[in-house]
Amino acid sequence: MNAVFPLPTMNRTPVFQIQLHQLLWQHGLLLLLGLGVFLLDKYERLPPGGITGLLLLGAVGKTTYFLLHNFRAMAVFRQAFQQFLLLVSLNLSMIALSFALDFYCLYRVDGLAFAGLRPGSELNLFGQLCYLSVSTLISNSGGNVGAAVGTTQALLLLEKIAGFVSTVFVISNAASYIGPVRTPEAE
């Protein structure tokens, strides 16, 4: 069938570079949106309830985006496993960073949203919330910091969903690249 309808061959490097640039642009836009919410809060352009609603709406939107991105990445990068791993790793990093920004914005709106945060500078608090985000993403554990209100629980749950599904995609794709394990009895 391929002799009658030959498939076009493409140099994969430029296609990969274009896709990487698109992914970086999209993820950068997500981070800018998070920074926008932070600035709205910092300069008190919205009431705390508005910021909280915007955070939850944004978290649902970006969780959906990250999940759809993983579906697209699986389809596009079946031929190039290393490229797929690079992009999924980038995706997981962006999930962690974007949720850390959400956690920080939520903390600024409601200082009692997290239990176990140690007092410190803004950078120190962001570091603790970044640790919470990475811990939630990779192990479903936040260490000493936990949710103290329902909004925090909702954000943590959305991050867990995004991280779990992303991890399952990596494992299932890795298995498809490795192929079935052959045993001597099967041969």
Residue 1's pLDDT is 42
137: nearest Cα among 110, 163, 175: 163
Helix (H) or strand (E) holding 133: helix 122-139
pLDDT tens string 28-54: 888 888 888 888 888 888 888 888 888
Given a contact cutoff of 8 angstroms between Cβ atoms, the answer to whether 63 and 162 are in contact is yes
pLDDT tens string 72-102: 766 665 556 667 777 778 888 889 999 999 9
Sole residue written with tokens 């009431």 = 47
Cβ neighbours of 169 (radius 10 Å): 19
Residue 3's pLDDT is 44
Domains in the chain: boundaries: 23-177
Considering the entire predicted model, what is its pTM? 0.66
Secondary structure (3-state) at 172:
helix
Secondary structure (3-state) at 140:
coil
- Res 110 pLDDT > 50: yes
Fold for 23-177, please state it. Helix Hairpins (1.10.287)
In sequence order, what E strands does the chain have? 114-115, 146-147
